[in-house]
Structure 1
């Protein structure tokens, strides 16, 4: 069960709009939850058009309480933000409402147990990618974080395991990427075409062992599958990445998910950070990344 007490800034919002935005639900999923009496306002069922009032107590019984969700791995938390370590094989959130166990669900389940309001997702990490996921505790913080990410004032660093030895060991990948939405696949094109976007990634090889490179990547743009696609195009597909790499190689190594982790987030802003200016200069990082320990034991990250 999740519960929210409506604040002054949320008053006047429609019930359906509030929950669809807060939970990332589709309208059909919301309507099913309402029909099955899993949504209550002040203990009773209301229409989707009900205008929330300050002090209203809104409850959702959508989560299956018979199967408690695993607690999230929180690596940083304060009054404004949460940073959690999302494991590979877990959705960041689910806009279709078909999945009951996502990183957002796990976080909000924990917050509900504390008696706190649900968090707002700020960005996503691919299903098979692990690492730091940021969430905001207030809508205004979500909007601010979203702007800072778009302005590249929040720097995300990734570690990946790639095939072969990258040369030069430090450099920059700049390509035109085109996304085929139907296939959910990204392609490098030789020149700009309709729908293509520039993708820029800085990289540095941290170690090389037994035909594998441990590579740190910094995104200067945020395109779909950017690191995976660009690394494969450069001749160094990620270990475990069947979409852009070699299934045979991945099966030989017994890896079924791309070894890619968002392991470090750095906040680089000052006055433009507004209420979050206190975070400027701060770095949140993972203390360990399992695939680094597996293939590059002893390498410090």
Structure 2
């Protein structure tokens, strides 16, 4: 059973030291988002600072195509202009963008590779949490591969490939297996939540075909934990 989440804290985004720009051309940007920064502005003036707003300082035509949770770090694609936004959105919706994440999760995950095929739905009374629900949940599939086990800390470093793109999918799927991600304020018990200073989840790889040149693009950033 999940413990109650900690009370909300004020939004304190990381200092704006400029974009960690991985790639840029006239059609799109690939940016490495730091943990703790919203992908898009939230509700209220105190939540205006976000990755897309920071990107617009250098690229006024930047538009968000997909999102990462505030506490997740890693690669994000932004379109430059409405037409590129449309084309890139189609790539994501048709699952033609390949994504891999890296996480550190509680316990020893066995077997060392497999898939988590469990439907997810918003847990409305406890939003923004999501839960596995076989009656009303949407199909959700994650492939995983354990990269290593740290017996001293009883943690597994794991590679995750979301085949679907549900909200909190990776976090809920690992929690469902009994291996919540360290630092997860929504899905980890307190002892695992407090074992890390942040959510140990990083969007490590992106691959897709460029919508204009049709070149196969592949980007990768090392997990900062």
Give the structure-2-normalised TM-score. Answer: 0.86
Segments of 4+ in structure 1 off by > 3 A?
none
1:145-160 alignment, distance < 5 Å = 145-160=88-103
> 1:201 maps to what in 2?
142
* Structure ranking higher in helix proportion: 1
The alpha-carbon distance between structure 1 residues 109 and 181, as it changes in their structure 2 partners (threshold 3 A), is farther
Query: Whose RCO is larger (CA < 8 A, sep 6+)?
Result: 2
Give the counterpart of 1:105 among 28, 50, 53.
53
Is the counterpart of residue 290 in structure 1 residue 215 in structure 2? no
Is the counterpart of residue 213 in structure 1 residue 156 in structure 2? yes
Work out whether residues 89 and 127 of structure 1, in 8 Å CA contact, stay in contact via their aligned partners in 2. yes
1:36-185 alignment, distance < 5 Å = 69-94=16-41, 96=43, 98=45, 99-111=47-59, 117-181=60-124, 183-185=127-129
Report how many residues are paired. Answer: 207
Unaligned 5+ segments in structure 1 are 1-67, 112-116, 292-301
CA separation in 2, counterparts of 1:134 and 1:164? 32
* 1:144 Cα deviation from its structure 2 partner: 0.6
Unaligned 5+ segments in structure 2 are 1-14
* 1:107 Cα deviation from its structure 2 partner: 0.9
Is the counterpart of residue 246 in structure 1 residue 189 in structure 2? yes
* 1:97 Cα deviation from its structure 2 partner: 5.8
CA separation in 1, counterparts of 2:24 and 2:169? 28
CA separation in 2, counterparts of 1:143 and 1:274? 10
CA RMSD of aligned residues (A): 1.7
